[in-house]
Amino acid sequence: MEHDVLAVIASSMNGFSKGQRRIAKYIADNYDKAAFMTAGKLGATVGVSESTVVRFAAELGYDGYPAMRKALQEMIKNRLTSVQRIEVARGMTDNAEILSAVLSSDIEKIRLTLEEVKKSDFYGAVDAIVNAEHVYIIGLRSSAALANFMGFYLNMLLPNVRVVNVSSSNEVLEQILRVGKGDVFVGISFPRYSRMTIRAMQFAHDQGAQVVCITDTETSLIAQTSDIKLYAKSDMVSFLDSLVAPLSLINALIVAVANSEKGNLSEDFQRLEKLWSEYEVYGDREQ
C-alpha cells in the first residue's frame, strides 16, 4: 500500500459517496489531527457514522481503519511543523498525566525496538565499526546529541573515530572529504530528517564507504543509501522527538564494540584513569 494517504485519497475521489467525500476532505485539510483520531471521533467530527469511516479505509485498500491511521502517521512524520506537533500533542495527553504518559511511551518504544531490530544487522554494524580504517559519525539538529554521545565513547575504544560537527554544508564536505573504501560512515537521523545528513551519507556511499544508518523505519530518507540499517522507534512528543530508544540502541552498539575490540582495553582505560587523575578531570567526593 502506498504510504502517502493523501495521494491514495486523491486518486480515488471520483468513486466516493457523499459521506466518504466529507471524510476525504477533512483528512486532506487536517491530516495532522486525523492521524491521531479514532474512527468514532473522525466520524463524529465530519458528521458520519463510525462504520462509514471504517468502510472508507477499506475502500482505499487498507486492512481496517487502524492500518490507514498508521499510514497517515508515517506520512506526516516529516511534514509536521513544530507548531502542528504542539497542537497534536495537546489533544493527545492530559497535562496532569504527562510524566506517566511520556515515560510509559518511552518504555514501549524500547520494547518495540528490541523486538524489531535484526541481530544480523546489529552485529554486522559492530563488525564494520571494529574493522573500519576510519569511523565517521554524523547526526545533526536533535540527532547531534546521539552522534556526540556515540563518538565520545567510541573514541575511548578506537583510534580512528570522527564526529562530523557542522555549521554549514561546506564544513560537512571538508570533514568527510577523504572518506572512502575501508571506512564506515554512521548516519543518525529521525523525522524531520536532516537534508544535510542525507547528502553526506550519499557522498560517503558514492566514495565506497560502508554506510550504516540509525533511524526510525525502512521508509526513512536516510535508509535508502545505507548498507546496514538499524531501526529504533522514535515518535514525536509535543515539539520534540523521543530519542530514548535510539540512545539505548547506541548504548548496545558501544558495549558490543567494546567486547569485540581487539586491543588491550583494560590497559587503555588504566592510562585514561591516570590521566583523569593527573589533570583532575573529575571532582573528588571526599573534598
Grid coordinates representing 135?
569511523
Determine if residue 49 is left, alpha or beta; phi over 0 gives left, psi from -120 to 50 gives alpha, anything else beta: beta
Mean pLDDT of 210-237: 89
Strand extents, DSSP E, the chain? 135-139, 161-163, 184-188, 210-215, 228-231, 236-237, 240-241
Is the pLDDT at 236 greater than 60? The verdict is no
Q: How far is CA 45 from the centre of its chain?
A: 32
**173, pLDDT greater than 50:** yes
φ and ψ at residue 135, rounded to 5 degrees: -115, 120
Residue 269 CB partners (closer than 8 Å, separation 6+):
156
Indicate the pLDDT class of residue 238, thresholds 50, 70 and 90: very low
pLDDT > 90? residue 161? yes
Q: How confident is the model at residue 15 (pLDDT cuts 50, 70, 90)?
A: confident
pTM over 0.85: no
pLDDT tens digit string along 36-47? 788 999 999 999
In this prediction, residue 71 carries a pLDDT of 84
Q: Is the pLDDT of residue 85 over 80?
A: no
Domains and CATH numbers, the chain: 5-76 (1.10.10.10), 109-278 (3.40.50.10490)
| Residue 2 pLDDT | 42
Whether pLDDT at 200 is above 90 = yes
- Classify the C-alpha dihedral 139-140-146-147 as positive or negative: positive
Residue 279 cell numbers, joined: 589533570
Of the pLDDT bands very low, low, confident and very high (cuts 50, 70, 90), residue 1 is: very low
| Short-list 254, 244, 241, 242, CA closest to 151 | 254
> Is residue 251 scored above 90 in pLDDT?
yes
Residue 227: per-residue pLDDT: 97
What is the Rg, in whole angstroms, of the alpha carbon atoms belonging to the chain?
Answer: 23
On the question of pLDDT at 282 being above 60, the answer is: yes
Q: What is the DSSP string of 42-60?
A: HHHHHT--HHHHHHHHHHT
Residue 211's nearest CA partner among 93, 273, 110, 125 is 125
